[in-house]
Amino acid sequence: MIAHLRERSWIIVLCGFALLFPFIFPSAERNFWIYYSSTVGVTILLASALNVSLGYAGLFSMAHSALYAVAAYASAILVTRTGWPFWLSLPAAVLLTTLVGTLMAVTTLRASNLYFAVITLAFALLIQELARVWTPITGGLFGLHSVPRPSLDGAPLSPIAYFLLIWLIAGVAIWGLANIINSRYGRAFRAIKLREEAAAALGVAPLQYKLIAFSFSAALAGVAGVLFVHLAGFIAPEIAGIDAGLLLFVGVFLGGVGTLTGPVVGVLFASGLQLTISNTLDAAYQQLLFGAVMLLTMLLLPAGMIGTLRMWWTRHSTRTTTSPETLSTEQFLDAEAIRRIIGFDQPAAITTHTPLLSARGIVKSFGGLQALRGVDLDIVPGTIHGLIGPNGSGKSTLVGCLTAYHRCDQGAIHYAGAPLPSQMHQVAAAGLVRVFQIPHLFGEMSVLENVLAGFHLRSRQRFFGTLLQLPADRRDEQTLRRAALELLALAGMADKAQLPASQLPHGQQRMLEVIRALAMRPRLLILDEPATGLVSQEIQALANLLLRLRDIGLTILLIEHNMSFVMGICDRVTVLEEGSKIAEGSPQEVQRDPEVILAYLGESAEQAHLNLSVPVK
């Protein structure tokens, strides 16, 4: 939160600086500086738009200068040919650009990232070609000229008034963008970019949120395009081209992708450079220089100026963070407090033995390897069900099938009385929540944002409400932040809330994943080897937590190789070996099963017996 506030104030300071340009230079040069500063404002907006798609949602778009041109052409045509006022052509052109962007995204989002870049490039070339050949409408190679500045009461705005209007509109647009980025939407964009399958497991529908990100980004590019055409007074096909887009990419990469301040700093720097060399260097050499700057940035400062500064700052501030005193196992993750914060229902008396989840004949192969050979599994509500078996016996694969992460080759799965949904995010929305065996945190997001990502499905934030910071949407975000901080406090991580999740010690990363999963208010929680890497005190705390969660009505499927942990807390245990179920029953029954003992037979039978026979509480 503080980091965001700081970032917003930086943007205001930097933009204020650019806004002052026309006033600090001698009045003879004023007109030039008004024009120059106006173009900087437009470019900052366009670069920020590109950053939503590229930096936040990870969609490498080559089409932004083309989208910008679509809006510029649309507004120019509406104003010069049909006499529409700017105030109507602006929303109309932005709407059209958004539709074009959405259409483009709908047709290409399923493609991989590389193809996305190539297809958007093809799209940009298409737009440019269309502008060249559709002469009656676009003016062909010469483009459209004499596009007037907006007028008010019949008189066109003075250059200085339009300059102020440009900065006002760009400022409001960037404010809206910042609101979206610091909300459920921005978190979903970043989550998808960083780890799509983990985002889906939290209930974020990847395609839907990529589409939102791209359409929003196109809309912002549209605003920039309209502002530009009424400033420059003309539009020509080159504007849609890749050359024109170069300054944009240099700005975004140099400043830092995926930061709000990055594009502002990058564009200020890049346009300053362009201005300095414009009188001394030939146009072709300017492009070359920009290409070189971009290459050097990628090599030397892959996170850009702001990204690098931020990393330095985080590292610096981490060193001064005091580590928390160890919490006692009683205090640690108190289940009652969790229930209060998350709002689990009162424990319902579980009267039914109808399985909450039921799988029949699950078969799953990877190439020639049959990982599951017809497994049946029933999970009774309100129980902790253990799933054990040697390494490679198919436990994680089964979890993948149960959560629509894998599509099984054969078999049927029913959850809560209905067939299992086919998409991961739908499974999550139905309350079936999984914690991956390999930590799936969003490493570059803060610890707090990771928990907030777990609240995705419960958030009531709407897009336009968030954009405009309507009270209900602001309150929702505040409520979620408070709850997330309370949860972190319970796990003794409150002082690490602002750290990137990747900087937590391994044990805390695992705990954070459990907390993030609990934030989703699951009905069935699947934990894949959660105790790996935890010290014995933490394992004890986790065991206590799971028992208490079961008592408040949660159903848990626990995959574990730590036998005393499994045998100590499970109501039922299923044993897999080489993709088949070899035993099932109470922990005591399973431990006595000769086949199970054989499966665990390492070097000697005694060792296997030792591994399995642990004191059962």
Binding site for ligand ADP (CB under 6 A): 366, 369, 371, 389, 391-397
Question: What is the closest distance, in whole angstroms, from the C-beta atom of residue 363 to ligand ADP in the complex?
Answer: 13
361 contact choice in ligand ADP, Mg ion, none (CB below 5 to 8 Å, kind-dependent): none
Nearer to ligand ADP, 62 or 563 (CB): 563
In which region does residue 111 sit, left (phi positive, over 0), alpha (psi from -120 to 50) or beta (all else)?
beta
Sort strands 155-156 and 357-366 into parallel, antiparallel or unpaired: unpaired
Burial 135-152 (b: 16+ CB within 10 A, else e): eeebbeeebbeebebbee
Residue range at the interface with Mg ion (CB under 5 A); choices 121-129, 196-204, 321-329, 393-401 = 393-401
Phi, psi of 501 (to 5 degrees): -60, -30
CA–CA gap between residue 347 and residue 110 (Å, rounded): 42
Contact 495, 403 (CB under 8 A): no
Nearer to Mg ion, 444 or 578 (CB): 578
397 contact choice in Mg ion, ligand ADP, none (CB below 5 to 8 Å, kind-dependent): ligand ADP
369 contact choice in ligand ADP, Mg ion, none (CB below 5 to 8 Å, kind-dependent): ligand ADP
24 contact choice in ligand ADP, Mg ion, none (CB below 5 to 8 Å, kind-dependent): none
Residues 395-434: x where in contact with Mg ion by CB under 5 A, - otherwise, as a string? xx--------------------------------------
Burial 473-504 (b: 16+ CB within 10 A, else e): bbebbeebbebbbbbbbbbbbeebbbbbbebb
Among 437, 498, 503, 540, binds Mg ion (CB under 5 A): 437
Nearer to Mg ion, 314 or 437 (CB): 437
433 contact choice in Mg ion, ligand ADP, none (CB below 5 to 8 Å, kind-dependent): none
Nearer to ligand ADP, 159 or 374 (CB): 374
Question: What is the closest distance, in whole angstroms, from the C-beta atom of residue 557 to ligand ADP in the complex?
Answer: 13
Nearer to ligand ADP, 112 or 391 (CB): 391
Q: How far is CA 170 from CA 19, 151, 403, 599, in A?
A: 12, 18, 43, 66
Question: What is the closest distance, in whole angstroms, from the C-beta atom of residue 572 to ligand ADP in the complex?
Answer: 18
Question: What is the closest distance, in whole angstroms, from the C-beta atom of residue 318 to ligand ADP in the complex?
Answer: 34
Nearer to ligand ADP, 179 or 396 (CB): 396
Q: Tell me how far the alpha carbon of residue 57 is from its chain's centroid.
A: 6
CA–CA gap between residue 496 and residue 505 (Å, rounded): 11
Q: Which helix (H) or strand (E) holds 219?
A: helix 206-232
CA–CA gap between residue 425 and residue 427 (Å, rounded): 5
Tell me if residue 525 falls in helix, strand or coil.
Answer: strand
Residues 6+ apart with CB under 8 A from 198: 191, 436, 440, 441, 442
Q: Which helix (H) or strand (E) holds 155?
A: strand 155-156
CA–CA gap between residue 499 and residue 483 (Å, rounded): 18
Residue range at the interface with Mg ion (CB under 5 A); choices 24-32, 92-100, 267-275, 389-397 = 389-397
Residue type, 174: I
335 exposure class (CB count in 10 Å sphere: 0-12, 13-18, 19+): buried
Question: What is the closest distance, in whole angstroms, from the C-beta atom of residue 407 to ligand ADP in the complex?
Answer: 12
Number of residues counted as binding Mg ion (CB under 5 A): 3
Question: What is the closest distance, in whole angstroms, from the C-beta atom of residue 527 to Mg ion in the complex?
Answer: 11
Does 532 bind Mg ion (CB under 5 A)? Our answer is no
Question: What is the closest distance, in whole angstroms, from the C-beta atom of residue 576 to ligand ADP in the complex?
Answer: 7
Question: What is the closest distance, in whole angstroms, from the C-beta atom of residue 500 to Mg ion in the complex?
Answer: 26
Nearer to Mg ion, 392 or 507 (CB): 392
Look at the block and give the residue holding tokens 């962007």: 101
613 contact choice in ligand ADP, Mg ion, none (CB below 5 to 8 Å, kind-dependent): none
Question: What is the closest distance, in whole angstroms, from the C-beta atom of residue 448 to Mg ion in the complex?
Answer: 29
Q: Which residues bind Mg ion (CB under 5 A)?
A: 395-396, 437
